[in-house]
């Protein structure tokens, strides 16, 4: 039995929590794309490929300690896309201030690997599942 798209995405986030970015990269497609959005990131930027994923996480660790992404739900939208609701938690390196942000993103899969992560703005409605 092959894993469902929700199981594949969940496994990726579990790998991140347990083994860090390197564990996640095994579940990321070489042609991966992600763009951070205003309102979610201080400096919106596009990230591509596995090195882009690594660079995104490194940008957090330049100013933050204890960065954690904690998914609260996964919902299949269609055979290749999964809606993820999650909490991003971090603590400032110099200030020690803890920050927390609720966020949502849509993961798109190809060849059982995550090829795209699309963030949704807080006011943006979530797409309905197909069918």
Q: Helices marked H in 30-125 — which ranges?
A: 49-61
Return the pLDDT at 67. 83
Q: Give Cα 63 to chain centroid, integer Å.
A: 19
Query: Average model confidence (pLDDT) for the chain?
Result: 89
The secondary structure of the chain, three-state, reads CCCCHHHHHHHHHHHHHHHHHHHHHCCEEEEEEEECCECCECCCCEEEHHHHHHHHHHHHHCCEEEEEEEEEEEEEEECCEEEEEEEEEEEECCCCCEEEEEEEEEEEEECCEEEEEEEECCCCCCCCCCC
Return the pLDDT at 24. 95
Return the pLDDT at 64. 84
Return the pLDDT at 1. 42
Return the pLDDT at 81. 95
User: Which domains are present in the chain?
Assistant: 5-120 (3.10.450.50)
Return the pLDDT at 98. 92
Query: pLDDT tens-digit profile of 103-126?
Result: 999 999 999 999 999 999 877 888
């Amino acid at each position: 039995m092959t894993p469902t798209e929700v199981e594949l995405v969940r496994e990726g986030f579990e790998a991140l929590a347990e083994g860090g970015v390197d564990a996640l990269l095994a579940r990321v497609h070489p042609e991966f794309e992600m763009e951070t959005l205003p309102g979610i990131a201080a400096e919106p930027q596009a990230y591509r490929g596995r090195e882009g994923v690594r660079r995104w996480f490194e940008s957090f660790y330049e100013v933050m300690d204890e960065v954690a992404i904690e998914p609260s739900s996964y919902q299949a939208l269609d055979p290749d896309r999964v809606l993820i609701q999650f909490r991003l938690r971090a603590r400032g390196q110099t200030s020690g201030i803890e920050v927390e942000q609720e966020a949502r993103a849509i993961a798109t899969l190809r060849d059982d690997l995550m090829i795209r992560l699309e963030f949704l703005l807080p006011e943006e409605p979530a797409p309905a599942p197909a069918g």
